[in-house]
Structure formats: structure tokens, C-alpha cells
Structure 1
């Protein structure tokens, strides 16, 4: 079983808490992307990033100075988004970290696919970014099916906790030999399941923590998840979609 999650835009450097184990497996592909990005002007990069001048300046400077092989932070500690805050990586024990190193994979527009203790540097490059180049336009085309093939070589059962932007790297290449289970975290509103962005990110992080704390290897055990007031709804779920609804406060 493998669990897939999205990265976060906000990143940090932490070379003191824990050492990284290895380089990302697709670092040679990352070198190609980095070389391409370094050739682009500030204005073109800002249009790709779709961000403020402050954020664009920070990341433009990063691009010029990036060293993919030094001052590296374990990926699990580098990302700082809401999902990672609720995952609470800094308070995992050694058994939980080992579980995640085996079972968790983080998808990335820049690095492709990361194990939790792969060493990374801060970057900004979303998977859906349009690079606007003749030789390199779409990151989906750049990575093609390499990420899916690598993941499928590890396991034929995937727990999808990633956004559609990133899960598309896998879902486009599924066949009958792969079980791909997407977890839905929503609320029932006027007879429809509604997912709310921030709450979904919180729940995904909690699910990763729940699985690590309980060392879950049997997918049926996922159904016992009950954090943040969510409960599994069997009648709304099927073999490939597990639906968790938030209880309404009385």
C-alpha cells in the first residue's frame, strides 16, 4: 500500500532536526527543469508562478542560487502547508517516521515523486503550471507516466489523499491491476456532498497521522478514521471511493 499526497507552496529549510536519507529518485529530471527555469526572465517566471512581486522575487532569487545537492531538508519537514501542520511531522516517533518512509509518497511538479526523507530545497512550481516553452510546456507531459510507473512498481494499492492536480499524474495511467482509492472528506449540504478546501487539507493531514500512529497496512482499517468529527459512510462509498462526512454540531 502507498499513500499519495500533494506538496505545499510554503517551504522551509531545516537541516538540524533530522538528517535526510537520500536524494530524490528523479533528481536528474529536476536538473533539467532547473536549467530551463534559470533561462527564463523574471517576468516570465512570475507569469508561471502567478504570484505577487514579493513572492516572485524570493523565488527568482532561489532559482538563481539553488543547489540540489547541499543544505537539504527532509521533504516531510520541508513543506509547511495546512495538511502538513495537521500531519504534525515534528512530533512523530521513529516507528511512525519509518512507516511513512515506506508508505507515503509526496508528488511534486519540481521533484516528481518524493519519499519523506528525500533531501529537498525550497522551490515554487505547481504541477499544473504552464511553462510556456516550445520544448517544455506542460509538466504533465514532462513527467508523462514515469511517476505512475514508479509508484506501481512499489504497490498495486494506492490511497489517494492528493488534490486532483497531483493525483492526475497517477489516475491517467491506471489499469485493472491497480486499486486506486480516493478519500473524500465532506459535509452533506442540501443532499449533496460538499468538500471545503481548508477542511479537506486538515483532514488529509490527520488521516496521514492516523495511519502512521496506527501502523495501518490493511486498507479496511482506514474506515475507522474518526478525527476532526469525520466518520466513514459506507452507503456513500464504493470500492474506489471512501467517503467521510463531518458530523454536524448540535
Structure 2
């Protein structure tokens, strides 16, 4: 199972493909939306840590968000198409074949501060709530504590035997430590360049996002079913560097 990060920007998309399923943690997402709604505008903005220009439309969405989240999936936006950003531009789900979308549905999960875990065709409402947001709820100091071990338990319940971590550190932190505690193997994919000054592999933020999206799309095109197949990724000039890889890390180096 591949796990990736969401994007901050979201836009409503009217299919096809249409959303087909409800998020696994829909009730929790509604609870978090109500918690945000219970704050005053300034309080919500402090949680969001964004400009007034970005905060206003998100505050307006909160007026009906908990109720809107429960609408029929087909009336909502499929998660993998709703996120807008570099990673999702390169993932390009809107031009995937039905077979590739089916692969995504079976092998990809999007981590979310609001929804916890999303399947690609789960119906969602655009929201703003990063995993690292300082939102205290139900006695929990933040969202990492709120979600706790429930996310990894969801993977275990779904029969996941290996997690392929293609997420940013902010989101990987919500799953990887729990996977390690429960003995679920995690393979983290790194996309970087060798720095001439010290020979270290460094990931450039913008390029890493493009690489992650390209990697997921390539996996869907190839119909990858085993970790060993991931080693063949060679898009955007990347190649697996075996000397910098091991059982827990696949390091793809560009150039």
C-alpha cells in the first residue's frame, strides 16, 4: 500500500470519474469540522496559520461542512482529483485509464489531517487542516495524538502487509512510527540529488513533490504488486541507487 500526502489547495471536481465511497473515518472528520466551527474566526485562523484571503473561504465552508461531508459520495468530489498541487499534477489521475484508477483504489491511500485516511475515490469536501495543526480536541494536544494508532490499525484491518511511504515527513509521522511499533514493514522512497559539496542525497521540496506524483502514476501504469518492482522506476531521470538503499529505504537519485 502506497501512502502519500494531501495538498493544501483543493477544488471541487465534477466527475467522471465520480466518487464512489465514503471515507473510513467520516464521523471523526465531521467531529473535527464541528470542533473548528466551534472556534471563532480568529481561533480557526490561528489553527490554519494562513492569510485572511485563504482563511475566509475556509471559514465559510465550515458553516455546513459537517453536514455536507455526509452527502452521497457521487455528489461529492473524489479525493485524488480534489487535491491540487505539484504532486497531483504529475500523478494526473484525471487522464488515467479505468484499470489504472482501479489500481489506485486498491494500492493508494492519502493521509489527511481532517479525514485520517482517504481512498482515491472517497467523496470529500474541500477543507483546510494540516496534520501538524495545533488543534486540541477530546483531550488530545494535536492531530497526531487524536488519530493515534487508529490509522495503522485501519491498514492492518485492510490486510496491508507492506507500507510504501511516499509521504512528506509531516504526514509519514502519523503512520510510520505506529507501523514500526506493530511490526508492519515500511519502505520509504527518497527522490533526490547527490550534493557535490559532501556527497549527501538531498531532496528539493518542489522536485520531490513532482517525483512522488510521477512515481505513483508509474506504479499504476505498471500495475505494481511487489516491492521489488518499485526498483525499476526510472522517470524524470531517476535511477535506484543500490548503495544508498536498503530494506527500509529505496533511494532514487537524479542526474
Aligned length: 246
Contact 1:156 1:177 in 2 (8 A): no
- Offset of residue 176 of structure 1: 6.7
1:220 correspondence with 2:221: no
Hey, what does 1:130 align to over in structure 2? 134
1:95 correspondence with 2:80: no
Deviations 1:108-139 (A, max 9, x none): 00000001011001000000000156745300
| Distance (Å, rounded) in 1 between the aligned partners of 2:244 and 2:182 | 23
Hey, what does 1:187 align to over in structure 2? 193
Hey, what does 2:56 align to over in structure 1? 57
SS in 1 for 2:239: strand
Hey, what does 1:17 align to over in structure 2? 16
1:168 correspondence with 2:173: yes
Deviations 1:179-232 (A, max 9, x none): 100001011012111110000000000000000000000211111111111110
Contact 2:194 2:202 in 1 (8 A): yes
Match of 1:157 among 159, 162, 172: 162
Hey, what does 1:145 align to over in structure 2? 149
- Offset of residue 95 of structure 1: 0.4
SS in 1 for 2:175: helix
- Offset of residue 69 of structure 1: 2.2
| Residue range with higher mean Cα deviation, 16-25 or 6-15 | 16-25
| Distance (Å, rounded) in 2 between the aligned partners of 1:111 and 1:140 | 12
| Distance (Å, rounded) in 1 between the aligned partners of 2:138 and 2:33 | 16
Indicate the RMSD between aligned Cα atoms, in angstroms: 1.3
1:245 correspondence with 2:253: yes
SS in 2 for 1:64: coil
Hey, what does 2:237 align to over in structure 1? 229
Deviations 1:112-171 (A, max 9, x none): 000101100100000000015674530011111000111123212011000111111111
| Distance (Å, rounded) in 1 between the aligned partners of 2:6 and 2:142 | 18
| Distance (Å, rounded) in 2 between the aligned partners of 1:119 and 1:196 | 32
Unaligned runs of 5+ in 2: none
Hey, what does 2:35 align to over in structure 1? 36
SS in 2 for 1:187: strand
SS in 2 for 1:169: coil
Contact 2:131 2:143 in 1 (8 A): yes
SS in 2 for 1:200: helix
1:119 correspondence with 2:123: yes
Seen in structure 2, the aligned counterparts of structure 1 residues 99 and 119 have a Cα distance that, compared at 3 Å, is: same
Match of 1:200 among 204, 208, 214: 208
| Residue range with higher mean Cα deviation, 214-223 or 62-71 | 62-71
